[in-house]
Chains A and B, each alone.
Chain A
């Protein structure tokens, strides 16, 4: 079984500042890793994902994340945030499988990023 820990429930930052949202996972097998974003009163949408290969993954809206196997982390970063980045961010993990009842995304509890002017 997999689990995801998002260490910060809330992260307030000022506009144009850099931000890092932390995510650690636990799994006995290799995993796929995802970051989803939920804007207020909307559904989730994919920011980026790590499947294999380069450990630095670039996503939409200027976000990137780095997979660190030894630290079992997948932290999300953005060098300069905007007011419109205010949202809930979810880290998620799934086993690298095709089909079957074992396939499901396990989400962390989310980090609320609030960007202040």
Chain B
């Protein structure tokens, strides 16, 4: 059983398109995250949600809109895709927002914008 799953695994699209990435966790966790990993492997948090409430919104263009329909799901919608959006996007979850908690990561979605 996959703890944190993401779909799709690969996404290739043209500039200007709109796309979504879905994430689901079956761990019963309260908190979920989106991270962006660039081509140099640098990992940076984009958003975090706790019990469907937005907690962290880093300096991310407003073309990126997360949505949490319930505690187990956190989706990422991206409008008007740009070349610089090409990266690997990771979803993660943790039991709650206590900072000692382990974060569990999904396998990643490799987005390529042409």
Contacts and interface: CB of A to CB of B under 8 A. Distances in A.
Interface in B78-114: 90, 92, 96-100, 102-108
Contacts of A104: 45, 48, 56
- What interface size band does chain B fall in? 20 to 34
A44 B90 contact: yes
Contact of A43 (B41, B90, B99): B90
Interface string A86-113: 0010100011111111011101011010
Interface residues of A, number: 28
Contacts of B4: 43
Contacts of A70: none
B40 A43 contact: no
A114 to B, nearest CB: 14
Given A43-B4, A104-B48, A104-B56, A32 B42 contact: no
The 8 closest A-B pairs by CB, nearest first: A43-B105, A99-B97, A94-B99, A44-B105, A107-B43, A46-B102, A110-B41, A98-B98
Contact of B105 (A41, A45, A94, A96): A45
A107 B44 contact: yes
Interface string B21-65: 000000000000000000011111100101000011000000000
A45 B56 CA distance: 22
B43 A103 contact: no
Contacts of B107: 41-43
A101 B103 CA distance: 16
Given A46-B102, A99-B50, A90 B43 contact: yes
Q: Which of A43, A103, A105, A109 has the most CB of B within 10 A?
A: A43
B69 to A, nearest CB: 22
Nearest to B103: A105
B105 A103 contact: no
Nearest to B55: A101
Contact of B100 (A49, A99, A109): A49
Interface string A58-94: 0000000000000000000000000000001010001
